[in-house]
């Protein structure tokens, strides 16, 4: 249990003010191998999870989309095609190294006209109220120090009628799957990180941060507390990942 001045960094309890810097160091370390590691550690299934989230987002031409914790831009690239030249996708990350990798990738793919880039802390979103038709955060909320504050901010900058989507690792349903998943996460995943990214510790943090993230029902309740309505979630791959969705009515 933590007080208002402390938080979790994986299984470690630290001063809340330290977390952003610790998370930054993790993603500085893995930025250049991030996409490769995603493919390896999920056996490519992360692409299916993201495709499902994009479908749930219901993006239409001309809309304004805020993608928080964009990383290298898997969701943002899809959104850019959906909103068309009259729309806008704002691609953000708290980590400059990750955001730069995303910018390079978007340029390489020729996606330049309707994309903007901003370094953003999800707890302090620098946009006015009611600015975006859809807000997404994929595999980033668990790294945020104050998750409730981030959800509050998403609700604030979302337009009435818009939706928030949170794609995140969650809690597997059923003991057999949980047993296998724990074995993979704590034994195999750090070793893959060591071989491919030369960084065992960052991927040990990844496994620990997933376990400390709120379960499906708790996160749904946090979204409702933020003022989002009609909140629901969809378990993917047995609950290893979940997509949470909420609306601003």
Q: What's the half-sphere exposure (Cβ side, CA atoms, 13 Å) at 20? A: 13
Distance in angstroms (rounded) separating the CA atoms of residues 16 and 6: 4
The H or E element spanning position 66 is strand 64-68
Q: Is 7 annotated as a binding residue?
A: no
For the domain made up of 6-173+204-247, the CATH class stated in words is alpha beta
Per-residue model confidence as pLDDT tens for the chain (249 residues): 456 688 988 899 999 989 988 887 878 877 777 877 788 889 999 999 999 999 999 999 999 999 999 998 999 999 999 999 999 999 999 999 999 999 999 999 998 899 999 999 999 999 999 999 999 999 999 999 999 999 999 999 999 999 999 999 999 999 999 999 999 999 998 998 898 878 888 889 989 999 999 999 999 999 999 999 999 999 999 999 999 999 999
Question: DSSP secondary-structure letter at 243?
Answer: E
Q: Is 237 annotated as a binding residue?
A: no
Q: Is 69 annotated as a binding residue?
A: no
Q: Is 198 annotated as a binding residue?
A: no
pTM confidence score: 0.91
Domain residue ranges of the chain, discontinuous segments joined by +? 6-173+204-247
- The percent helix, strand, coil of the chain (3-state, each to 5) is 50, 25, 25
């Amino acid at each position: 249990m933590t007080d208002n001045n402390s938080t979790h960094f994986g299984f470690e309890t630290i001063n809340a003010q330290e977390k952003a810097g610790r998370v930054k160091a993790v993603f500085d370390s893995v930025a250049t191998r991030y996409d490769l590691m995603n493919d390896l550690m999920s056996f490519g299934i992360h692409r299916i999870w993201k495709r499902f989230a994009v479908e749930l987002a219901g993006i239409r031409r001309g809309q304004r989309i805020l993608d928080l914790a964009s990383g290298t831009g898997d969701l943002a690239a899809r959104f850019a095609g959906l909103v068309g030249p009259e729309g806008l996708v704002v691609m953000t990350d708290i980590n400059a190294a990750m955001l730069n990798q995303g910018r390079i990738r978007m340029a390489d793919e020729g996606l330049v006209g309707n994309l903007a880039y901003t370094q953003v802390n999800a707890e302090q979103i620098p946009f006015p109220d009611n600015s975006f038709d859809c807000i997404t955060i994929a595999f980033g909320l668990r790294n945020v120090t104050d998750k409730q504050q981030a959800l509050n901010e998403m609700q604030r900058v979302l337009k009435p009628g818009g939706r928030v989507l949170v794609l995140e690792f969650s809690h597997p349903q059923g003991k057999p799957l949980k047993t296998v998943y724990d074995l993979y996460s704590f034994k195999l995943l750090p070793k893959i990180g060591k071989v491919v990214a030369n960084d065992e510790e960052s991927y040990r943090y990844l496994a620990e941060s997933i376990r400390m993230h709120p379960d499906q029902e708790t996160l749904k309740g946090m979204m409702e507390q933020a003022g989002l309505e009609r909140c629901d979630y969809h378990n993917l791959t047995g609950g290893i990942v979940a997509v949470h969705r909420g609306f601003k009515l």
